[in-house]
A and B are shown apart, each in its own frame.
Chain A
């Protein structure tokens, strides 16, 4: 059992998350990316193989990995981007004989609907998380695969430029600043809420009663 503090530095602004982010979520994502890159048949089966200790209760478990904290810099900005299909492209494709039937084009609805999207972004000096590590080798081999934090990774937002891992005894209690099982004895400033205990956190089917950390 090694208590650690992980600090990420970013080289691009990140999309401000609208929910709390757990350190183990980043590692699970990294585990899937690594497995996929290495040609694993079903990378998702490795999402919980992240080398972090588990906190097991009678009803459920969670990783001993806390919420990420963000050291923000400057004001928030609105990233604006649009989705737009060009009528001319469809007309050309039809005239060239590419399409098997006449296309319907409507920029107001359906699949060719134009869209205007916003994402709040902000620069961040560092992102910190605490964890109690069971398998340091596995933990450290996954960290370089955490290439981005937050949404719009495919647009290079929230790109990680470097990270550091330090042994920090404070992690022995700070890991519990996260979603905990309802019968956990580690709850301090926690309140009952609905959420997930392990990745994928976004998946509605994983949501259940938890004790969420209230700052």
Chain B
């Protein structure tokens, strides 16, 4: 008899600083017209943040042109990476406290899912799959040399808009925002890199570097720049010589709400509990995306909820609010389902066995069989 259940962990977040998650495509920003052109155009180079097109909401203009709205997103892989690392940290802390060690390959399995480049997906026996289903971390995050499937679905973080509500796993917890597209939700910020030596900036520059050295530096830089200009004029490939740069960076504005949704198939309460502890840790960290050192990507949770999903009908039922607000460190709300799950996960974390992790890392079916008998 199975005690498996399906849940959706729903967290609405609100950006409290600009957020940028670099897309592989580049754009150009024209400061004179304050216009950002995706993807080629005149102006300074501009890193774009990750977006999704909403082709199902396209509209046709009178001219016949098709306009496809785009919205910024928090990629599923970004959220999944954060949650997996948070789960890894919980297990690592437990092992360190108990003075237990694991191999670098096993650590690699925990953080990235891969022990090495050699997969043994075909060696998954029913016994191996049963063992993996019993283990909270391996069940919800998957991976290992057996290429186990994850029993969790970590969705793209969609902005909460009228046009994206239909993309969400569960309805928004807070209000739908009135934004209509990228122009409302993003802005371009300048990223300036200076060269204090060339600009003769700095109170102690001359004392520290020396006047002679500064002159030599300026002469060398000038010659290098002249050489580069001459090459450019002759249409040869010139080298970039100036350290000073001005680039643009497209960021999501402060105050934009995103919906984070995670579905967990929980074969044991500890599975849901481990995902909840990982989510709590992610929320406490409160940062997502690049340029964290500049304070980018900060967010707070504005609403949280736990749903149970009936897999036979795909209907969802609200079980509880999940976390209290940020001032409490996102403490878990009082609820018997949440309490049971978190306590079971804490027991699991406190007793995680390096032997099991190593056996999955090495795809050692023999040791897993032995461990399986011990569990039985």
A joins B in a complex: yes
Interface residues of A (CB under 8 A from B): 11-13, 34, 36-39, 41-44, 73-75, 77, 80-83, 85-86, 89-90, 93, 96-104, 110-113, 116, 122-123, 125, 141, 144-145, 147-148, 153-156, 159, 161
Majority DSSP secondary structure for residues of A touching B = mixed
B92 in contact (CB, < 8 A): yes
How many angstroms between the C-alpha atoms of A9 and B13 in the bound complex? 28
Shortest Cβ distance from B224 into chain A, in angstroms?
Answer: 31
B166 in contact (CB, < 8 A): yes
Interface residues of B (CB under 8 A from A): 1-4, 6, 23-24, 52-56, 58, 68, 75-77, 80, 85, 92, 95-96, 99, 101-105, 107-108, 111-112, 114-117, 126, 129-130, 133, 142, 149-150, 152-156, 166-169, 261, 263, 265, 311-314
Verify B92–A98 contact, CB threshold 8 A: yes
B residues in contact with A144, CB < 8 Å: 311-314
Verify A77–B53 contact, CB threshold 8 A: yes
A residues in contact with B101, CB < 8 Å: 97-100
Task: Specify the chain B residue showing the minimal Cβ separation from A40.
Answer: B2
Verify A123–B56 contact, CB threshold 8 A: yes
A residues in contact with B4, CB < 8 Å: 37-39
Verify A89–B149 contact, CB threshold 8 A: no
Verify B104–A156 contact, CB threshold 8 A: no
Verify B126–A123 contact, CB threshold 8 A: no
Verify B311–A81 contact, CB threshold 8 A: no
How many angstroms between the C-alpha atoms of A36 and B274 in the bound complex? 20
Verify A41–B102 contact, CB threshold 8 A: no
Verify A156–B114 contact, CB threshold 8 A: no
Verify B112–A83 contact, CB threshold 8 A: yes
Contact of A154 (CB < 8 Å), options: B130, B149, B166: B149
Question: Nearest 3 CB-CB pairs, A to B?
Answer: A74-B55, A39-B2, A156-B155
Contact of B53 (CB < 8 Å), options: A74, A97, A110: A74
Verify B126–A73 contact, CB threshold 8 A: no
Verify B105–A154 contact, CB threshold 8 A: no
Verify B103–A112 contact, CB threshold 8 A: no
How many angstroms between the C-alpha atoms of A111 and B118 in the bound complex? 9
Taking A73-B55, A98-B102, A156-B261 as known contacts, 11 extra A-B pairs with beta carbons closer than 8 A to each other, sorted by chain A number, are: A77-B52, A85-B111, A85-B112, A86-B111, A89-B111, A98-B95, A102-B104, A104-B104, A147-B153, A148-B153, A153-B153
Verify B169–A156 contact, CB threshold 8 A: yes
B residues in contact with A43, CB < 8 Å: 129
> Given known contacts A12-B156, A44-B126, A155-B76, is B53 in contact with A99 (CB within 8 Å)?
no
Verify B149–A37 contact, CB threshold 8 A: no
How many angstroms between the C-alpha atoms of A191 and B2 in the bound complex? 45
Shortest Cβ distance from B249 into chain A, in angstroms?
Answer: 18
B residues in contact with A93, CB < 8 Å: 92, 107
Shortest Cβ distance from A2 into chain B, in angstroms?
Answer: 21
How many angstroms between the C-alpha atoms of A156 and B157 in the bound complex? 10
A residues in contact with B133, CB < 8 Å: 36
